[in-house]
Amino acid sequence: MLPQINNLTGAVFVFIKVFIFVGAVIYLIFASIIVKQAKTFSKNIRDKFNSLIITAAYAHLIAAAVLVFLVLIIL
Amino acid sequence: MTRSTDLDGIAPDDLSVRSDNEIIDQNPIAPPTIPHTELQDDTFRKILGHTLHPLSSTIIDPDFFDFSEREDNEKIYVVLRPHWFTNVSWILIAILMILAPMILGILKINSPLPAKFTFILVLFWYLATFAFTLEKFISWYFDIFMVTNTRVIDIDIHNLLDRKFSEAQINRIQNTSYHVSGVFHTIFNYGSVIIETAGENPDIVFENIASPGKIIKLLQNLCEKNAPTNK
């Protein structure tokens, strides 16, 4: 019984790994959309904090890319 | 708390006609230009008060602000964003999201997953919290209502994928009203400004504006200044 439980557990973890990886990739796409939108809005409306918003959007995109990398490395 | 002011008398909507009945402008699209003076700035400041910082929800005669659809001779008088209190709910949610993993730790509710999975999920959680905060701030920051010397402009951003631009020429404003409803709206004095225009154009509604009564007064002032050019 134990090997079967271990296999089942292994299958569950593989499923979770794939789930997290797909989630991280989708999140990376979402982060790139935020960058695109922040740039578009900043182009249409120019104000003092635009550069800060674009910087934050890029930082978020980089963090999302790092997350995908970490999912591949750690899990 | 609804107040309505009929501006039709001071802002006729169709042709601009001189006193000797000579038609001077047959193009309804061409906006009239109100000459900008320091006196107007003072009038607006008297009505709306002074701007304290660039993140204020009311910015009078902004030095730095600009928008892509602005015409060459167009002067921005006032830039408005939703009242600061509208941000309180998402700021509280963001704080809760930041604290949630720590609260789970304090309550000793451990993840059933191995440590490396938990680490990735916590990272993912904080990233999502950052995205939530950024998205809410962007939605507030770029949700703009502008009054210029020729028109009023409303740029609505409901979320990152939903954006709406609408405008009305000052001389086509027929009626303005505002609506303040709710406990917090009344306490902090913010609400919706409704601008009805001539023709088939839909009304412009700018929601959650600070001191909507003062905005109505400002629009009345502009329409009055615009009136002599049409007569």
Domain count of the fold of chain A:
1
Nearest to A47 among B64, B127, B160 (CB): B64
By Cβ distance, the residue of B121, B127, B134 closest to A57 is B134
Given a cut of 80, whether residue B159 has pLDDT beyond it is no
Sheet holding B173-179, edge to edge: B2-6, B173-179, B190-197, B204-210
| The Cα angle at residue B16 between residues B13 and B18, in degrees rounded to 5 | 140
Q: What is the pLDDT of residue B110?
A: 75
- Interhelix angle for B212-226 vs B38-48, to 10°? 150
Instruction: State the pLDDT at residue B39.
Output: 46
B95-104 pLDDT tens trace:
999 999 888 8
Q: For residue B164, what are its two tokens?
A: 């709406």
**Lowest-pLDDT range of A27-41, B108-122, B137-151:** B108-122
Q: Where are the domains of chain B?
A: 2-82+145-230, 87-137
Distances (CA, A) of B46 to B21, B49, B194: 36, 6, 22
Cα–Cα distances (Å) from B38 to A61, B42, B122, B217, B220, in that order, read 45, 6, 55, 18, 18
Contact B159/A at CB under 8 A? no
Q: What is the DSSP string of B102-159?
A: HHHHHTT---SS-HHHHHHHHHHHHHHHHHHHHHHHHHHHT-EEEEESSEEEEEEEEE
Radius of gyration of chain B (CA): 23
Tell me the shortest Cα–Cα distance from B68 to chain A, in angstroms. 5
Instruction: Answer for the pair B224, B171: CB distance below 8 angstroms, yes or no.
Output: no
Cβ-defined contact of A23 to B64 (cutoff 8 Å): no
Secondary structure of B49-86 in the HEC alphabet? Answer: CCCCCCCCCEEECCCCCEECCCCCCCCEEEEECECHHH
Could you give the ipTM of this predicted complex? Answer: 0.84
Q: What is the mean pLDDT of chain B?
A: 77
B51 touches A at CB < 8 Å: no
Place of tokens 């008398």: B9
Tell me: pLDDT of B71 over 70.
yes
pLDDT tier, B113 (very low <50, low <70, confident <90, very high otherwise): confident
* Single-letter code of the amino acid located at A24: A
Cβ contacts of B124 on chain A, cutoff 8 Å? 20, 23-24, 27, 67
pTM (predicted TM-score): 0.76
Q: In what helix (H) or strand (E) does residue A73 lie, and over which residues does it extend?
A: helix A50-74
pLDDT tens column, A41-63: 888 888 888 999 999 999 999 99
Q: Compute the mean pLDDT over every residue in chain A, rounded to the nearest whole number.
A: 85
A69 at B interface, C-beta within 8 A:
no
Shortest CA gap B187–chain A (Å): 29
Residues of B in contact with A24 (CB under 8 A): 124
Domain span at residue A63 reads 2-74
Q: What is the pLDDT of residue B49?
A: 66
